[in-house]
Amino acid sequence: MEHFDFIVIGGGASGLVSASRLARGGCSVRVLEASDRLGGCIQSWRTEGDFWLELGAHTAYNSYAPLLEALDERGRLEDLLPREKVGYRFVTADGRLQSPMARLNFFEAALFLPFGLFRAKAGRSVAQWFSGLLGQGNYRRLLAPAFAAVLSQRADDFPAEWLFRKKPRMKSAPRKYTFTGGLQGLLEALAEGAPFSVKTGAPARTITREGTGFHVEAGDESLTCSQLVLAVPVDVAARLLADLYPEVARRLAGIPVVASEAMGVVLPAGKTALPPLAGLIGDDDSFWSVVTRDPVPHNTLRGYTFHFRPGVLDHAGKLARIAQVLGAQTSDFLHVAETANRLPAPGVEHAVLAGEVLALLEREPLALVGNYLNGLSIGDCAERAVIESERLLSLKAHLAPTAATANVNEA
């Protein structure tokens, strides 16, 4: 049975940044990914030649310093592709494109802004804090649909303190960027020539204690490790920890998970009259948002990913709505792809719950990383990955049987 200092379960941004940080000091690290690809919530659909389209997470910033530092360690920082500066538009009920600023009532904003800036975000939902910042009318017309487009779900109850947190920047990197082959290519670059090993197609089945460490059954592998990182969706983490850390699992099970239905289309550039856009925002529409390939323009093709509300339209209905928005015919679509994206849907109370989970594991050789502990963005995931990796490294030299696990399970 092969033994590693660290096993990381999950090959998305959280897992690969964790593995990079843990392997820095010469520790043996194994990454186990359930699917046949790396990327997790980042899925770059590669259709033909040099064309790709993001079906999941789509934008990265130079404020995601931990992600960029891991890429720099692979010597691939110069392979970043800057995104051109193009804007977002709302799609109105009658099909017009509307600037976000056209929805802002400046008088209402002026009344609220001087006082709203000084209200604490902690303990307030997105709807509560941003309504206090710009007024309820502005929140309803502009911010609520915009935030729902970003999160691909209703955002009113989301913890306000998890949005727009200040993060350290890598100023040498473009402000917004992608990578050759899309953002999935960036994560693949983290694994190429890395000082850790990766196994795809290896879904974790069980985790049990093995001395002071863990025994992991994943795919066709049976492995042991001294310390473990779970970089998996919150409901998967709850299932894997149900017997091992029941109080942690119970709290994780309290965070709901929602789905959005992504459909991507590729068509010849001349088949749509839409101007170059970063994306579209739906307002009381069948879709939350549309993400485009326009920030990295292509000579002959254009691509659009519609993130649909779940259960509203069938396959044919989605194609028809996409054609309607693009001013095209469904016969113009050269390529079509569908996938389901699953995301946590935390409410304001889950910020406290996440803190409780992290406190329960503070002295344990187990780390939880992902998009349910401090925010949904790629940067949030990378930040938590570094924090938890550093915690595990600090514990590495002091691993010993203690009553900590018993205390966790009795909490």
In a domain, 316, yes or no: no
- pLDDT at residue number 399: 57
Same domain, 247 and 352: yes
CB 22 within 8 A of CB 389: yes
In a domain, 194, yes or no: yes
In a domain, 153, yes or no: yes
In a domain, 173, yes or no: no
Same domain, 250 and 351: yes
* Domain end marker among 162, 195, 213: 162
In a domain, 384, yes or no: yes
Q: Beta-carbon neighbour count of residue 247 at 10 Å?
A: 16
Provide the residue type at 359 as one letter: A
Same domain, 248 and 113: no
Same domain, 235 and 362: yes
Same domain, 225 and 353: yes
Question: Which CATH number fits the domain that encloses residue 359?
Answer: 3.50.50.60
Q: What is the tally of structural domains in the chain?
A: 2
* Domain end marker among 115, 130, 162: 162
Provide the residue type at 195 as one letter: P
What is d(CA 187, CA 159) in angstroms, rounded to the nearest whole number?
A: 28
| Residue partners of 330: CB distance under 8 A and separation at least 6 | 319, 320, 322, 323
In a domain, 187, yes or no: yes
Helix (H, G, I), strand (E, B) or coil at 247: helix
Instruction: Give the bridge partners for 260, in sequence order.
Output: 341
Same domain, 367 and 405: yes
Same domain, 240 and 352: yes
Per-residue pLDDT 10s for the chain (411 aa) are 799 999 999 999 999 999 999 999 789 999 999 999 999 999 999 997 889 999 999 889 999 999 999 999 999 999 999 999 999 999 998 889 999 999 999 999 999 999 888 899 999 999 999 999 999 999 999 999 999 999 999 999 999 999 888 888 998 999 999 999 999 999 999 999 999 999 999 999 999 999 999 999 999 989 999 999 999 999 999 999 999 999 999 999 999 999 999 999 999 999 999 999 999 999 999 999 999 999 999 999 999 999 999 999 999 999 999 999 999 999 999 999 999 999 999 999 999 999 999 999 999 999 999 999 999 999 999 999 999 999 999 998 675 444 344 444 444
Same domain, 189 and 247: yes
- pTM for the whole structure: 0.92
> For residue 212, what are the domain limits?
2-41+65-72+183-255+346-410
Q: Token match 């502009």: residue? A: 142
Same domain, 220 and 356: yes
Q: What is the dihedral of CA 224, 230, 231, 233, to 10 degrees?
A: 130
Q: Token digits for 245?
A: 């850390």
Same domain, 210 and 354: yes
What is d(CA 312, CA 298) in angstroms, rounded to the nearest whole number?
A: 32
In a domain, 284, yes or no: no
In a domain, 9, yes or no: yes
Same domain, 155 and 8: no
Same domain, 243 and 350: yes
HEC string for 362-406: CCCCEEECCCCCCCCCHHHHHHHHHHHHHHHHHHHCCCCCCCHHH
Provide the residue type at 12 as one letter: G
